[in-house]
Structure 1
C-alpha cells in the first residue's frame, strides 16, 4: 500500500491518499512560527491500516523541513509525538512564558 501525503494548504490540512483516493486528513492552523494540529481523521473504509500514522509522520517531517514547531492539540498527533519522542520531541512548541513570568 502506497500512502501519498500532500499539504493541501488552501484547505488547512495534510491529506493522505491511497491509490488516488482520499483516505485520511490532519487539519491544522499555521502561524509564522508553528503548526497547530487540531484534528486527524481516517475516512470510512481506511481504518486500521496505519494510514493516520503515516500521514502524521510525513506531516511532521514537512513541518521540520519548514523550520516550524508543532502544537499538538489533536490527541492522535500528541500521542504519536509522545510515542516517537526521539524523532519528533524537538518539534513540540514550548511557550516562551514561564510561571515566574506570570507570577512576577
Structure 2
C-alpha cells in the first residue's frame, strides 16, 4: 500500500492486482486507475474519480502511485487513458517510463 499526500488530502493508494487497478477508498466511493499487464509493460486504460471527489488531487495520487509501481517493477508505461497521458506530458521526470512508440505519439523527446 502506498500513501499519497497533497495539500488537499492524504490518501492510501493500494494496488489490487486481482481487479487490475490501483484504488483509493474514499469511504462513500472508490477512485480507480485501471491497468493491464502486457509483457514487460503496464497499460493504464482508465482513471475514474467520483464526481463529488473531483478536483482534490485524487486522480493525480493514483497516477503517481501507478508510475511509481511501474518504475519499481521495471515496466514501460503505455498511457491509453487520456488523464495518464496528460499527466505524463506535464511531468518530464516521468518521460523515461513511457514505451518508445507512445513517446512518439505523445510528442515526448
Task: Name the TM tier (shorter chain).
Answer: 0.7 to 0.9
Conserved 8 A contact 1:23-1:51: no
Q: How many residues align?
A: 93
User: C-alpha separation between the residues in 1 aligned to 2:18 and 2:50?
Assistant: 20
Question: What residue in structure 2 maps to residue 29 of structure 1?
Answer: 36
1:92, distance to aligned residue in structure 2 (A): 0.2
Alignment partner of 2:56 out of 49, 54, 58:
49
User: C-alpha separation between the residues in 1 aligned to 2:73 and 2:87?
Assistant: 20
Question: What residue in structure 1 maps to residue 72 of structure 2?
Answer: 65
1:65, distance to aligned residue in structure 2 (A): 0.1
Stretches of structure 1 that go unaligned for 5 or more consecutive residues are 96-104
User: C-alpha separation between the residues in 2 aligned to 1:61 and 1:11?
Assistant: 19
Describe the SS at the equivalent of 1:10. coil
Asked if 1:14 corresponds to 2:14, the answer is no
TM-score (norm 2): 0.78
Stretches of structure 2 that go unaligned for 5 or more consecutive residues are 1-8, 102-109
1:32, distance to aligned residue in structure 2 (A): 2.4
Once superposed, which parts of structure 1, at least 4 consecutive aligned residues long, lie more than 3 Å away?
Answer: 20-23
Question: What residue in structure 1 maps to residue 96 of structure 2?
Answer: 90
